[in-house]
Chain A
Amino acid sequence: MSSSSNSGEFRIKGAGRHTPARTARFTFDGKSYTALEGDTVASALLAHGVHLLGRSFKYHRPRGILTSGPEEPNALLDVSRDAARRQPNVRATVQEVFDGAKIASQNRWPSLKYDIGAFNDMLSPFFAAGFYYKTFMWPREAWHKLYEPIIRRAAGLGEAPKEADPDHYASRYVHCDVLIAGAGVAGLTAALSAAATGKKVILVDEQPEVGGALHFDSSTVIDGQNGFDWAQAMAAKLKAMPNVTVLTRTTVFGYYNHGFLALVERVTDHVALPGRDLPRERLWQVRAKKVVLATGSIERHMVFANNDRPGIMLASAARSFLNHHGVAVGRNVGVYTAHDSAYEAAFDLKRAGVSIAAIVDSRSHPGDGVLAEARALGIDVLTGHAVTDTSGRLRINSITVTRNGGANARKIKVDALLISAGWTPSVHLFSQSRGKLRFDEANQRFLPDIYAQNCISVGACNGTDDLADLIDEAIAAGGGAAVVSGENRFEWTGGMIGAAEGAGPEDAVKAFVDFQHDVTAKDIRLAVREGMHSIEHIKRFTTNGMASDQGKLSNMHGLAIASEMLDRPIPQVGLTTFRAPYTPVTYGTLIAHSRGDLFDPARKTPMHAPEAAEGAEFEDVGNWKRAWYFPKRGEDMHAAVNRECRTVREVGGVFDASTLGKIEVVGPDAAKFLNLLYTNTWDTLKPGKSRYGIMTREDGFIYDDGVVGRLAEDRFHVTTTTGGAPRVLQHMEDYLQTEFPHLNVWLTSTTEQWAVIAVQGPKAREIIAPFIDGLDISNEAFPHMSVAECTIMGVPGRLFRMSFTGELGFEVNVPADFGAAVWKAIWERAQSMGACLYGTETMHVLRAEKGYIIVGQDTDGTVTPDDSGYGWAVSKKKTDFVGIRGLKRPDLVREGRKQLVGLFTKDPKDVLEEGAQIVADPNQPKPMTMLGHVTSSYWSETLGRSIAIALVAGGRAKMGSTLYVPMADRTISVEVTDMVFFDKEGGRING
């Protein structure tokens, strides 16, 4: 083999569309090759006579290049620029060569030519369809210890890169009047027609240049010129129009609801030195008023024994390599076909100087046109014959040909074999749009039938093969006018689906249906024999069509074989549903910039930075980062929390409560509205006062809680739980807009507008006093549960007298922009007085000592206000509020419901696990009767012992009794107590 600076000894002088002087160097498995710019990896390797590109998935059989397009199942390679920019499973037929590309084969060890895994091929009788399901059933324990690790190691092609992806990806949204998928003759013609109307048109094609089948179809003449040249001229004309966008190297991979389509544009994968500002790929999300599908068709292979050797490829692929890339796929080429189109491959090769060993045609009567041409060119045609076997270890070297029926077997030497069983219309996108297909019995294909969206199929994907008809159809679909004339040289006939002669039925024969998953005709027959009667079951049992090519070549063959075995017509066997994506899409494209810090943005309070500077550890609460605790040097979390708890109770503490949800409820009917949304009464609340409120859903269960302050007759400052803010606002809006629209109320989220600094502890008043202007905050003038607007350090703010610790406490609200400055000033003074900063962990301990619940931790959506000991918060006088009826449901008022109570462990040092189950009789045989579970549990430094809150069936009637918490290694005895552990009289908050 040559690896010299020439672009390969299989280049045909004068053939192809690349410029000989423009070369690119790349390596394949470490060996250096020269390609021409515009080559795919496949054409570049074929130019050097390299056909062996990989090993198959299951049997590790040598495999080559089967196609020249995105449907390629075999030639999957690892392509890299450097260690991080490496991609496995790249189709050699799609990837363009760029200078410096490093390309490697996959699924082989130690080398492509000598692969130990090929042992599987000899063991293949054991690896029949369903092998894994049958073999690894028992013992059950062996699954995750033994079978799964081994299967996982052996499974999958390629190896994912371990480094983070350094490339960036872009995303774009666009609207258009007409989107046209596919820029072959049909797509270009439709685009010309649509563009003439002045509509906004997007024309998309997955290849580097427009033209579709004109890449290989050299005999088509359109408007008097070579088809491919015509296509380029039309693309240039369209690009010059202001209302047209032409996207090449772009695949429409998904067609979703209401004209929504997803496209991936490969921006730099073909470029040697991509500009740093360019994205690697770009996701286009298009909303199109109308879609024209001009997606063409895909040639099928023939299913016969050993049809997978390197050197065997689709006839159209060989034509592409010759007519577009200027590469001959062999020097002595055979053809095996059931369709006229393959003859044209033989004609093109013959004219380029390649010898054609024979055309073997399974049909007795091919088209007259191609037969005559073959005769004129002196090509041997064997009609009514079959290729029943092939030979050649790493590349095909001969075919065995018999007359149909098996007589007169003889070997013919070849170095490549072109195959064609006809063409399968690409109805993938039509099917994704939820269109319904019909089976075209005469031509053995599925075609678009009933459209679900404003969409139309034209050309080969619609079964329209005649060029003149296709052009008329495309002009009509474009909705405008265009003048295009063209004709086919030959009228194509024929085609078959299913197994050809020589595909069995003997079990030893490997006639591949699905190349990527190594599914043979025999496997599909076996699946039917074993009782799989629907195509969905057959597909899953054999994995036919489930590889990354999604059965673009194999689905129709598999269906036909199943249909024959089941003796049922094809439409009754069914067709599996086509799903997006049409071809594999990188994760990078789908997520674009949503990774790293932007994957799930963090919400930080205005005091985040100064808290971090004070050494705060943060915890995630929803998307919020909340200061968790503030360790001093040498302290662990436990020590820090104990110190913070002690300091708050003895002196004071400063806490960031900014994450609490805040909703401003304003309007003449604000109190009436809150009366309906909360279980409490609000019209009796005087301006300047606040109240703890509980919100239930209609079913009577607690939905949220929080303190609500009344600033004026018509203005309330509502606080919600940190996590509850968005859903509470949605809940309120829902009732206001749809059930109580007669109420004159406005709701505004102010969560992020207010920074909230809680100052708690015996010295709280002394700490904040110097910062408050225009307000008497003495105990007499501003008692517990007061609220007022005032000036705080010169900033308009709101001051609440409230407490979630049981101590004298205030919550200072200032506009978010001033939060950090006010916080710093308060903290500086607090620190000088011996107070501390405290975080959410200390807040949790302090509130638990007081028996204050946390909605979502101590309640779980099945807890009523009464269950949680807050029955007093439910108004007995109101005639309506959300939940009033739900609370009267029989199950909500029955005896023995789970209620929140306190628990003391018998050993005060034992801290229970949150979530631990509680039982009455620890010796009861399993399954034990569970009375409830621990909802909150902490070490209380204040009390010098552990405390816990638990939901216990009939809990309040069990005060003083002993219950048990069974753990894995022991059982813990607990005593049921009151939920308020500290300062039961509540004197401290009035300090």
Chain B
Amino acid sequence: MLLIHCPYCEEDRSELEFRWAGEAHIARPENIAAISDEEFAEFFFLRNNEKGLTYERWRHIHGCGRFFNAARDTVSDRFLMTYKAGLPKQPIPVASKAAAIAEEKTVETWEATEGDAR
């Protein structure tokens, strides 16, 4: 079970108190009524689903109720940072990024551990 730092409560709380809320930093276009079908598809349907460093939203639903942003490494499940909604995408400190990348190199993938090593 993950331990998540709520940037509003300023506490580490159990994953049980939170709900995941999808990829972060996808702003609803201000002129949404005027955008093209392609732009709408890009905004609403398409997600990066990146392996490794991901920016995502969480809601402290059984706590303060606030939505916030998080940078998480999907390989190690390590949270590199959480920050308040509305702030721009935060750069990740070089040290934690390096740690995340080092970890990724030893990642347990299906190919590496469960697949046929041939």
Binding site for B on A (CB under 8 A): 256-260, 287, 434, 436, 450, 452, 533-534, 536-537, 568, 572-575, 577, 698-699, 730, 733-734, 737-739, 741, 879-880, 884-886, 888-890
B75-118 at interface with A (beta carbon < 8 Å): 76-77, 85-86, 103, 106, 108, 113-118
A452 and B33 contact, CB distance less than 8 A: no
For residue A291, give the distance in angstroms from its CB to the closest CB of chain B.
Answer: 14
Given contacts A258-B2, A452-B103, A738-B86, contact A889 B40 (CB under 8 A): yes
Give A760 to B3 CA distance when docked, in angstroms. Answer: 51
Residues of chain B contacted by A884 (CB below 8 angstroms): 32-33
Cα-based distance from A577 to B118 in the complex (angstroms): 18
Task: Please tell me if the beta carbons of B28 and A737 are within 8 angstroms of each other in the complex.
Answer: no
Q: Is the CB of B2 within 8 A of A257?
A: yes
Residues of chain A within 8 A (CB-CB) of B27 are 739
Q: Are A257 and B37 in contact (CB under 8 A)?
A: no
Contacts of A890 in B (CB 8 A): 37
Expressed in whole angstroms, the Cα–Cα distance for A256 and B3 within the complex equals: 11
Closest to A698 in B: B44
CB-based nearest A residue for B76: A452
Taking the closest CB of chain A, its distance from the CB of B11, in whole angstroms, is 12
If A258-B2, A738-B57 are given as contacts, then 11 extra A-B residue pairs at C-beta distance below 8 Å, sorted by A number, are: A257-B2, A568-B117, A572-B117, A574-B114, A575-B113, A730-B59, A733-B67, A734-B59, A738-B67, A880-B32, A890-B37
**Contacting pair B33 A734 (CB below 8 A):** no
Residues of A close to B21: CB separation below 8 A: 734
A95 to chain B, nearest CB (A): 30
Q: With a CB–CB cut-off of 8 A, which chain B residues contact A879?
A: 33
Q: Are B113 and A574 in contact (CB under 8 A)?
A: yes
If A452-B103, A733-B67 touch, whether A738 touches B85 (CB-CB below 8 Å) is yes
Q: Footprint of A on B, CB under 8 Å?
A: 1-3, 14, 19, 21, 27-28, 32-33, 35, 37, 40, 44, 57, 59, 61, 65-67, 76-77, 85-86, 103, 106, 108, 113-118
B3 is contacted by which of A287, A574, A737 (Cβ under 8 Å)?
A287
Bound: A45/B14 CA distance, A: 46
Inter-chain contact B103/A885, CB cutoff 8 Å = no
Q: What's the Cα separation between A260 and B12 when bound, in Å?
A: 13
With a CB–CB cut-off of 8 A, which chain B residues contact A730? 19, 59, 61
Of chain B, the residue at the smallest CB distance from A885 is: B32
Residues of B within 8 A of A699 (CB): 44
CA distance A260 to B3 in the complex (A): 8
Q: Are B1 and A256 in contact (CB under 8 A)?
A: yes
Complex partner residue of A741 from B14, B33, B86, CB under 8 angstroms: B86
A573, A741, A880, A890: which has the most chain B beta carbons within 10 Å?
Answer: A880
Report the nearest A residue to B77, measured CB to CB.
A257
| A-B CB proximity, top 7 nearest | A258-B3, A534-B116, A260-B1, A885-B32, A536-B114, A737-B67, A739-B28
Q: A534 touching B44 by the CB < 8 A rule?
A: no
User: CB < 8 Å: which of B35, B114, B115 contacts A885?
Assistant: B35
| Complex CA distance for A879 and B118, rounded to whole angstroms | 59
B1 touches A258 (CB 8 A): yes
Complex interface: chain A residues within 8 A of B59 (CB): 730, 733-734
Q: CB within 8 A of B66: which of A436, A577, A737?
A: A737
Q: Residue on B with the closest CB to A262?
A: B1
* Cβ distance A263 to chain B, nearest Cβ, rounded Å: 14
The chain B residue with its CB closest to the CB of A260 is B1
Given A258-B1, A737-B66, A885-B33, the answer on whether A577 and B108 have CB atoms closer than 8 Å is: yes
Give the residues in chain B near A568, CB-CB below 8 Å: 117
- Whether the Cβ atoms of B37 and A537 lie closer than 8 Å is no
In the bound complex, do residue A534 and residue B115 qualify as a contact, i.e. CB atoms below 8 Å apart? yes
Given A452-B76, A734-B21, does the pair A573, B2 have CB atoms closer than 8 Å?
no
User: What chain B residues lie within 8 Å of A888 (beta carbons)?
Assistant: 33
CB contacts (< 8 Å) of A434 on chain B: these are: 76, 108
CB distance from A741 to the nearest CB of B (A): 6
Cα of A780 to Cα of B65 in the assembled complex, Å: 43
Selected from A256, A577, A889, the residue in CB contact (under 8 A) with B37 is A889
CB pair B106–A436 under 8 Å, yes or no, is: yes
Inside 8 A of B35's CB, which chain A residues have their CB? 885
